[in-house]
Amino acid sequence: MESQSECYFNIPVLLISTIVSFLSVHSTIIEKPVFKWLNKQTGKERELQLQKLALKNEQSSLSMVDEFAKYSKLQRRINVIDRELEQIKGDKPTNSFVVQLGFTYGVKLVFALLLILLSLYYRYTPVLYLGDKISLTPFTNFICYPNDANYVSFYFWAMCCVTVARLI
């Protein structure tokens, strides 16, 4: 590395490391939309929900005491629809606790492995250069490893990004 007098940033490496570090900590940013998409209602579910809502509205207009037979008949139809909805929801694979847990930790594992691979790939690429005017004297080896003095390494930058992301 050649000596320079002013600061510079390696923008692509800086952005990649920051984004992957942040996503490795806050993987729910990806998990929530995926689970929402996987658990979206089917046409059959929407139709059953509409039927249930119509029956509930009709039932609310009746007096339970005066028209008990009609009220209980509507309640039985609502119960049948509830069972069908539970059956449909139970058939979805994403409702399994094991699937949800596996997906949650799988996403975290993917980002952790990606961060490790990027650390290996960019190990000799400095993220930024602080200039000759700034001295990192007691921590130079820790911040710069394996680069020259006053260069911030990928390792250190990723570690700082993960720490800040956890604090947020």
More confident residue, 79 or 95: 79
Residue range 99-153, pLDDT digits in tens: 778 888 888 898 889 988 988 888 888 888 777 777 767 776 667 777 777 788 8
Q: Note the pTM of the prediction, 2 decimals.
A: 0.62
Reduced to 3 states (helix: H, G, I; strand: E, B; else coil), residue 160 is: helix
Q: Are 80 and 72 in contact (CB under 8 A)?
A: no
In 3D, which of 108, 119, 117 has the Cα closest to residue 157? 119
The percent of residues in the chain predicted with pLDDT above 70, rounded, is 89
The percent of residues in the chain predicted with pLDDT above 90, rounded, is 4
pLDDT at 79: 92
Alpha-carbon span 151 to 52, nearest angstrom: 65
Q: Residues near 88 by Cβ (< 8 Å), separated by ≥ 6?
A: 42, 44, 45, 48
Alpha-carbon span 64 to 60, nearest angstrom: 9
pLDDT at 140: 67
